Amino acid sequence: METNTGGTPWRRLLMTLPACSESVRMGRHTTRVVLSAWRLPSLEENAVLVVSELLTNAIRHARDTDAIELDLHATRAWLRIEIQDRDRQWPRPRVVNELSESGFGFVLIDALAAKWGVRETETGKAVWAELDIQPGSGPGQAAMARPAG
């Protein structure tokens, strides 16, 4: 797998976490350890923030979810962070202003990720974000995926 240059996962970790606040800390810690093992320390700070936001949103807002999956996979070009839960309701990013006390999660994701979106799964949904791995690359045009139809 070392010769991968496209979108096929080069490294991957899939972890199931309980839908509780302690899982956010576990997810952040796991992300740090995995990125170190994969020799991607330059992504650590942004990846940990994205993992924290996506896990927090899933725990706080997903209905009928007792477990959440954290999926990290890297190609030579990007790191994809995906959080799956059993709630079929897609997130609805809010319009926030300087007086807002919360609701900045997707503003942060949009600022850090090259792209992000939501997809349906067999049991619910997955919210994902991709961070560019290549040196000197930064966030691109991020847009939330919309369901077909």
Taken in order of first residue, the domains within the chain and their CATH numbers are: 12-88+99-132 (3.30.565.10)
**Per-residue confidence at 25, pLDDT binned at 50, 70, 90?**
very high
Can you give the C-alpha Rg of the chain in angstroms?
Answer: 15
Residues 129-138 have a mean pLDDT of 75
- 24-28 long-range contacts, Cβ below 8 Å, gap at least 24? 24/52, 24/55, 24/56, 24/59, 27/51, 27/52, 27/55, 27/70, 28/52
109-122: pLDDT as tens digits: 888 999 999 999 99
Query: What is this structure's pTM?
Result: 0.79
Closest by CA to 131, choosing from 70, 54, 35, 47, is 47
User: Cα 113 from chain centroid?
Assistant: 9
Residues 24-42 have a mean pLDDT of 96
Mean pLDDT across the chain: 82
Statement: residue 14 has pLDDT above 70: yes
Statement: residue 66 has pLDDT above 80: yes
User: Cα 95 from chain centroid?
Assistant: 20
